[in-house]
Structure 1
Amino acid sequence: MKKSIILCGIAATALIATLGFAFKPSHTEHVCAGFVPENDLYLPANLFAAGGVTKAEFNQVIDRIETLYRPEIESMGDRLTIKRYWDDGTVNAHATKSGKNRVLSLYGGLARFPSMGVEGFALAVCHEVGHHLGGGPKYSGRDSWGATEGAADYFATLKCLRRYLAAEDNATALKNLKVDPVAKEACQKQFSNLKDQLICQRASVGGEQVGELHQRLNEMEIRPKYGTPEVYQLTEMTEDYPYPQCRLDTYFQGMLCQVSEYTRMSDTDYKQGSCYEPVHKVGARPRCWFVPN
């Protein structure tokens, strides 16, 4: 991980160390990297702007995901704490762990980003859940409890967003949403059940909403798109943020994987609960960040 990412949750530590003062180490185990890299965007609660989700939608999304995953985390002997910072304009979200306490910190600025709808915001929250439940690959070093950025992205659509959307009236919701034709065709080809097709299509809308955020933060002229997958393949796995197109590819493969959203991921066996090559032709983690053992 990059140094700036490691220090994001304990920014004062670097300053204190530089000045030569001693400090008591924190008991919090950080996966400091947010949903997106630390950035200077700030969207206050009183900002008048088109787009983004409302405070009610912000809380409804979090409530639903909390209901879905609190029992699973408690079954592990841990607690789930969700901190809702609606009034904070920070455009990000974070996952941390302190002892048996697994924490999600969610900021209103992220929810207020203009392209964000409930689909994209739910995907972002699911990504943070994925740091806790997304299995391997894990961060190395002291953050070894947490799934890496790519693993959290994959979990977000393979497991969490699919479960979130399962209880929704997706046919009605999609009447007011534009689905990318490449994503729509892939969803229809991959799933024979109409309900699964609609969940996949709506999840793809969430990926596009988040893709615009990645585009903005990375100052890209062209937004990541379905149908133009990242061609560069790594020879060594990365724990850091994949490139924006690679992240969209990861969301896409997660939503296309036919493995059940209720089969848990494994911390040690990446094949468990997921699609993988060469067994699955569609739905495996992209090679633009993932390198099989």
Structure 2
Amino acid sequence: MGKKMILGLVFALGANMAFADNGCFPENDLKFSHKTKSANMSKTEFDQVIKRALDVYGPIVKKKYGKKLIIDGEWENDRVNAHATRDDHNNPVISLLGGMARHPEMSKDGLMLIICHEIGHQFGGAPKQFRGSSSLRSWSSAEGQADYFAATKCLPKMFADTEETKLVNSMSDEESFEDARKKCKDDICVRIVLAGYSVGKVFASLKTGWEPPRIGEQDRFQVPMTEYKHPRPQCRLDTYVSGANCEVDREKNFDDVDPKIGACYRAENGYDDARGARPRCWYHPEVYFK
């Protein structure tokens, strides 16, 4: 492990937030070898996605937060995951493991969603995770909130090229495309939902008994309190669908305490449905997350 990553890990542990707690997926033993000739994604494509993310979001991080966005592409790491931490200068560091990119269900847009999810841990706002077993809040946004950030704030910027987005959508599976269109008002939303569908299928493969999500379905379970860890696969896809449909200004940041700022939200009773709001399968409406 390089010096930069060691420093990032030390910083994260010093903040009482374990490195693995900010993984896009739960820790798992699934691996896809970098020596496999029929890999789902080439190293060139892997590097291209990372470069695109840095080109688009690097300047945003620099302008808004005065920090350098660092993305380490660990192509030869065969494990299926990605992680977010910070280095000794408090710069956001994202590690993408090559095995995740080589997963048969992972698309290039899905990989971009993963990057946006990890950026969401850094800048996604409330609700934020807790520091270990304490009642103090971490710098890291909850898993569901990182997903919501990815769909509402980050991916629309990554997919802003309308002609490219139309082309990518046209090359997708016809059934999935039609299902996504029924959930969306525009092409960018469709592309986000399809990226989320890819990630959802990868996520579902990591645990025995988990069913792959379906674009036309919805997780009807309602949590009694906000879930800070990884929601179920269908719930995560629901979050991408909701986020892609949120029409709040994409330039308006989420707040670190007030979850309504920058977000679509329900009526004060917390139960009335609102298009684009955080799904109740992981989120329980609260006034503030202090």
**TM-score normalised by structure 1 residue count:** 0.83
* Equivalent position to 2:280, from 262, 287, 292: 287
* Equivalent position to 1:138, from 117, 128, 153: 128
1:105 matched to which residue of 2? Answer: 95
The 1:182–1:67 alpha-carbon spacing in structure 2 relative to 1, beyond 3 Å, is: same
Task: After superposition, give the CA deviation of every residue in 1:197-221 in whole Å (9 maximum; x if it has no partner).
Answer: 1111111111111121122112346
Return the letter of the residue paired with 2:181. K
* Equivalent position to 1:205, from 169, 194, 198: 194
Structure 2: give runs of 5+ residues left out of the alignment. none
Counterparts of 1:159-170 in structure 2, within 5 Å, are: 159-167=153-161, 169-170=164-165
* Equivalent position to 1:32, from 4, 20, 31: 20
1:66 matched to which residue of 2? Answer: 54
The 1:175–1:72 alpha-carbon spacing in structure 2 relative to 1, beyond 3 Å, is: closer
Please report how far the alpha carbon of residue 79 of structure 1 lies from its aligned counterpart in structure 2 after TM superposition.
2.9
Tell me the distance in 2 between the aligned counterparts of 1:262 and 1:158: 10
* Equivalent position to 1:83, from 72, 95, 109: 72
Tell me the distance in 2 between the aligned counterparts of 1:182 and 1:59: 30
The 1:26–1:176 alpha-carbon spacing in structure 2 relative to 1, beyond 3 Å, is: closer
Tell me the distance in 2 between the aligned counterparts of 1:221 and 1:149: 18
* Equivalent position to 1:185, from 182, 185, 188: 182
Return the letter of the residue paired with 1:267. D
Q: Which range is displaced more, 25-34 or 70-79?
A: 25-34
* Equivalent position to 1:115, from 105, 112, 117: 105
The 1:26–1:281 alpha-carbon spacing in structure 2 relative to 1, beyond 3 Å, is: closer
Structure 1: give runs of 5+ residues left out of the alignment. 1-8, 14-24, 192-196
1:147 aligns with 2:141: yes
SS at 1:144's partner residue? strand
Deviating above 6 A after TM superposition, structure 1's stretches of 4 or more consecutive aligned residues are none
SS at 1:217's partner residue? coil
Tell me the distance in 2 between the aligned counterparts of 1:220 and 1:47: 27
1:158 matched to which residue of 2? Answer: 152
Q: Which range is displaced more, 161-170 or 216-225?
A: 216-225
Q: Which range is displaced more, 176-185 or 149-158?
A: 176-185
Counterparts of 1:187-266 in structure 2, within 5 Å, are: 187=184, 191=185, 197-220=186-209, 222-266=211-255
Return the letter of the residue paired with 2:65. M
Tell me the distance in 2 between the aligned counterparts of 1:120 and 1:90: 16
**TM-score normalised by structure 2 residue count:** 0.84
Contact 1:32 1:96 (C-alpha < 8 Å) held by counterparts: no
1:176 matched to which residue of 2? Answer: 171
Contact 1:31 1:146 (C-alpha < 8 Å) held by counterparts: no
C-alpha RMSD of matched pairs (Å): 2.4
* Equivalent position to 1:56, from 44, 56, 77: 44
Tell me the distance in 2 between the aligned counterparts of 1:116 and 1:207: 10
Tell me the distance in 2 between the aligned counterparts of 1:221 and 1:136: 27
Task: After superposition, give the CA deviation of every residue in 1:119-177 in whole Å (9 maximum; x if it has no partner).
Answer: 11111111101001111100112661010101001111111111101125112222211
Tell me the distance in 2 between the aligned counterparts of 1:31 and 1:41: 18
Contact 2:20 2:27 (C-alpha < 8 Å) held by counterparts: no
Tell me the distance in 1 between the aligned counterparts of 2:14 and 2:237: 34
Return the letter of the residue paired with 1:248. L
Please report how far the alpha carbon of residue 285 of structure 1 lies from its aligned counterpart in structure 2 after TM superposition.
0.3
1:46 aligns with 2:35: yes
Number of equivalent positions: 264
Task: After superposition, give the CA deviation of every residue in 1:88-110 in whole Å (9 maximum; x if it has no partner).
Answer: 11110000123422210111111
